[in-house]
Amino acid sequence: MNQIGAENQTSITIDDAMSESNELDSCYNCFQHFVTNGFSKIDESSFEGDIIKTSFFSSLSRNPQISYRTKILAIHKNSNTSQCWQIRAHSFRVYAKAVADTRGGDANIKYAWYGASKNEICETVMHGFSWRRHSISVSPAKHGLDSVLCSGVDGSGVRHLLLCRVILGKQEVVREDSSDQFHPSSMDFDSAVDDISSPTRYIIWNTHLNYNILPCYILSFEAPPYLSGLTEPKTIKPKTWITFGTLISILSPFLDHSQRASLEEQYTNYLGKKITRPQMIQRVRAIAGNQLLSAVVKLYTNKVQFWT
């Protein structure tokens, strides 16, 4: 048992070597689609990036197990200047003014989260929200967990949320089982909620889609594979271990002199406990590169363990 515990500290797994490389490839393709359709990536540490990040994690606070294991990968801002998007933005402003004029000067505009599969998010970015439904539900900014639960995980474990501005106007209460309703019950209302005093869902009717809801940001993130936050998965995927010493000896023929020297220096620092295991993994990645590291470690996927 002690040997295995020590080995786990001085080894790198297939998951360690592959996770970031696969994540970057898959994320790049999806992020490129967002960029192509007018969304630009913003720095998480910027003023608006920090506000969005803080709001997102605050909205997960009622389930700290999920919040703690959730990682933001990117935030993209709607910077679309195409004629189609300009028309949609103009329609949003015109409708907001109309609602404000009708409702005593307040259009009741809020920010809200919308969770869906990657494909639906991409379709929405390209063409707007689908009209093939009675309504859509979005989550108030402080109740993001509900939209996280609705988001679909793609093949690389990434999820996406839209942060939208929504014109709520005057709201009526609609029960979850009111599946036959597809428009406001009267001209006195503009949208619906599940609870007037403390809503966890805003309901936007089919008749109001695409001019009273405007996507502003896309937040891409990783969350635990289980989202109940209550139980861990019962099955654990076997891991293949390769020691850093063995890995370095295999990588060496593919590296130049300075890279080999740098790798050996980092390994010496690691053995001397000057750097941690996660730091060692990151430095191996930085020196060897994800592509070479992944190719080398893949050779060992059918092995059980390696010891020096």
The answer to whether residues 217 and 248 belong to one domain is no
In a domain, 101, yes or no: yes
In a domain, 239, yes or no: no
What gap in Å lies between CA 39 and CA 42, rounded to an integer? 9
Model confidence, pTM: 0.65
pLDDT for residue 5: 37
What gap in Å lies between CA 44 and CA 60, rounded to an integer? 18
pLDDT for residue 109: 95
The answer to whether residues 173 and 298 belong to one domain is no
Instruction: Look up the CATH number of the domain holding residue 148.
Output: 3.90.228.10
pLDDT for residue 16: 54
The answer to whether residues 259 and 171 belong to one domain is no
The answer to whether residues 96 and 189 belong to one domain is yes
39 contacts: CB under 8 Å, gap ≥ 6: 76, 77, 78, 79, 80, 125, 218
pLDDT for residue 168: 94
The answer to whether residues 145 and 195 belong to one domain is yes
In a domain, 1, yes or no: no
pLDDT for residue 2: 36
The answer to whether residues 123 and 174 belong to one domain is yes
Alpha-carbon torsion (176, 181, 184, 186), positive or negative:
negative
The answer to whether residues 211 and 248 belong to one domain is no
Domain with 193, as residue range(s), is 31-228
Give pLDDT tens digits along the chain (308 positions). Answer: 333 233 344 555 545 554 544 444 455 567 888 888 889 999 988 888 899 999 998 888 777 777 888 889 999 999 988 888 888 899 999 999 999 999 999 999 999 999 988 888 888 888 888 766 678 889 999 888 888 888 878 777 789 999 999 999 999 998 765 556 778 888 899 999 988 888 889 998 887 777 889 999 999 998 877 654 433 333 334 444 667 777 787 777 777 888 888 888 988 988 888 888 778 888 888 888 776 777 666 665 444 333 33
